[in-house]
Amino acid sequence: MNLNLSIGPLISLLAGILILVMPKLLNYIVALYLIVIGLLGLLGTGNFRLH
């Protein structure tokens, strides 16, 4: 049996659980998620080079 897990759904699941347990963390979780996704998008595609 193969178990393939990607990081996106795991982060979403963890964030959802944290928001349910501590609703005041919502702003921080959303901000951190957006920053991480933005950095991965920039660094993953190589768009930071000036050509």
DSSP the chain: ------HHHHHHHHHHHHHHH-GGGHHHHHHHHHHHHHHHHHHHHTTTS--
Distance of CA 50 to the CA centre of its chain: 26
Q: What is the pLDDT at residue 4?
A: 58
pTM comes to 0.51
- Considering the domain boundaries, does residue 25 fall inside one? yes
- Residue 16 belongs to a domain: yes
Q: Is the pLDDT of residue 51 over 70?
A: no
Q: Is 51 a member of any domain?
A: no
Confirm whether 13 is domain-assigned.
yes
Determine, yes or no, domain membership for 2. no
State how many domains the chain has: 1
pLDDT beyond 80 at 13: yes
Range of 41's domain? 7-45
The pLDDT score that the predictor gives to residue 29 is: 81
1 found inside a domain:
no
Q: In this model, does residue 22 exceed pLDDT 80?
A: yes
Q: Is residue 50 in a domain?
A: no
What confidence score (pLDDT) does residue 15 get?
Answer: 79
